[in-house]
Amino acid sequence: MRPALTRPGVAGHRTTGVRSRSPALRTTVFQGALASCLFCVGALPVLAIPFSLFGLIGLHSAADRLVFPLWGLALALMCLRTPVSRAAAAGLLCGLVAV
């Protein structure tokens, strides 16, 4: 017979796996939301061009009101110590070097 799964330091406590999955699920959801946010902010300067062509917003006002403030947010999000933010920071650095 297999011994019961117990947490270290707590005798006789069985883990059901629900608690162990919950932080991982939250981390996965957070990482996905962070990646989506950074992707959208990264695509925003290119998306400003069709917005300008369709007359929705001018390029200068899009840069002043959308691109620069959201890039500040993206740079703040890249300061987090997560795998997605590290990859985004590396991508930003490589993109700057390439340009």
Task: Between 22 and 46, name the one with better pLDDT.
Answer: 46
Start-to-end CA span in the chain (Å):
62
pLDDT digits (tens, 9 = 90+) for 2-39: 555 555 555 555 555 545 455 665 688 888 999 999 99
Average pLDDT over residues 53-70: 90
Q: Is the pTM of this model over 0.85?
A: no
- The chain-wide mean pLDDT, for the chain, equals 81
- Say how far residue 37 (Cα) sits from the centre of its chain: 6
CB 38 within 8 A of CB 77: yes
Cα–Cα distance measured from residue 66 to residue 77, given in angstroms and rounded to the nearest whole number? 16
- Give which of 22, 21, 33 is closest to 82, Cα–Cα: 33
Q: What is the pLDDT of residue 13?
A: 53
